[in-house]
């Protein structure tokens, strides 16, 4: 790990702590899996508004596997892309029952073979449920990792591999949580609050903007 990366990590830890908190409300692995599928192109806050009623109506993997697609679409409508999400959730839960007895697997290949489950969702499950070191690349992680010069890539999978190379394994899970906190409070997508940012001296994008 480069010295500057170590300094960035120390500052993030100081600002946001290292408690592992999941931003998506859930009580078990399958609920987190469904909540993460719903979070595609949607805010965590919106997903957290939808899931209590959703999990009350469908209280098990079996219930979701047997759901009527139209009814499920109505229940998740406000998260967007509801047609695809409903189709994937039903297919995913059917495969969980057929292949894993209704349990959520921890293996990355097994997870990403499930309908609607990409590397981001798989890594959320691995990190939050199974405590497996994993780098979750969401919109905040991609944007801020690029701004800080830890990757030049845009493809989330390539960003993930760059971060796995650069960050110590015991910081992989915390990186996502701390960077989301930084992205929500300071390093916003539009109009980042650079004057308030404790990472300013490490920021490639800020340095380039200053040159202009």
**For this structure, is 120 an active site residue?**
yes
Tokens describing residue 53: 């009623």
Selected from 41, 200, 208, 210, the binder of ligand SF4 by CB under 6 A is 200
The catalytically annotated residue of 44, 85, 138, 162 is 138
Residue 186 found at the interface with ligand SF4 (CB under 6 A) = yes
Give the whole-angstrom CA distance, residue 90 versus residue 115.
9
Give the whole-angstrom CA distance, residue 192 versus residue 194.
6
Residue 192 found at the interface with ligand SF4 (CB under 6 A) = yes
- Segment (H or E) for 185: helix 172-185
Report, in Å, the least distance between residue 112 CB and ligand SF4. 30
Q: 3-class DSSP state for residue 40?
A: coil
Report, in Å, the least distance between residue 158 CB and ligand SF4. 20
CA 90 to each of CA 43, 69, 119, 146, 167: distance values in angstroms, whole numbers, following the listed order: 22, 8, 19, 35, 36
Please say which residue, 73 or 205, places its beta carbon nearer to ligand SF4.
205
Residue in this structure with the two tokens 């340095």, named with its chain if needed:
207
Give the whole-angstrom CA distance, residue 29 versus residue 13.
27
Tokens describing residue 41: 């192109």
Residue 206 found at the interface with ligand SF4 (CB under 6 A) = yes
Selected from 61, 203, 208, 210, the binder of ligand SF4 by CB under 6 A is 203
Selected from 61, 147, 156, 166, the binder of ligand SF4 by CB under 6 A is 147
Report, in Å, the least distance between residue 194 CB and ligand SF4. 3
Report, in Å, the least distance between residue 193 CB and ligand SF4. 6
Please say which residue, 29 or 150, places its beta carbon nearer to ligand SF4.
150
């Amino acid at each position: 790990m480069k010295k500057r990366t170590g300094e960035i990590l120390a500052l993030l830890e100081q600002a946001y702590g290292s408690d592992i908190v999941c931003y998506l409300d859930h009580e078990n692995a399958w609920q987190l899996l469904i909540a993460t599928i719903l979070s595609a192109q949607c805010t965590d806050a919106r997903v957290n508004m939808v899931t209590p009623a959703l999990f009350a109506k469908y209280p098990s993997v079996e219930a979701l596997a047997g759901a009527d697609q139209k009814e499920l679409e109505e229940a998740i409508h406000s998260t967007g892309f509801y047609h695809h999400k409903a189709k994937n959730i039903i297919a995913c839960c059917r495969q969980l029952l057929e292949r894993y007895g209704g349990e959520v697997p921890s293996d990355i290949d097994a997870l990403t073979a499930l309908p609607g489950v990409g590397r981001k969702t798989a890594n959320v499950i691995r990190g939050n449920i199974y405590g497996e070191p994993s780098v979750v690349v969401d919109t905040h992680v991609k944007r801020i990792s690029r701004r800080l010069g830890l990757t030049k890539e845009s493809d989330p999978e390539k960003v993930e591999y760059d971060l796995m190379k650069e960050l110590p394994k015991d910081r992989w899970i915390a990186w996502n949580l701390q960077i989301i906190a930084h992205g929500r409070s300071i390093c916003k997508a539009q109009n980042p609050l650079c004057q308030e940012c404790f990472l300013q001296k490490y920021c490639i994008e800020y340095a380039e903007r200053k040159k202009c």
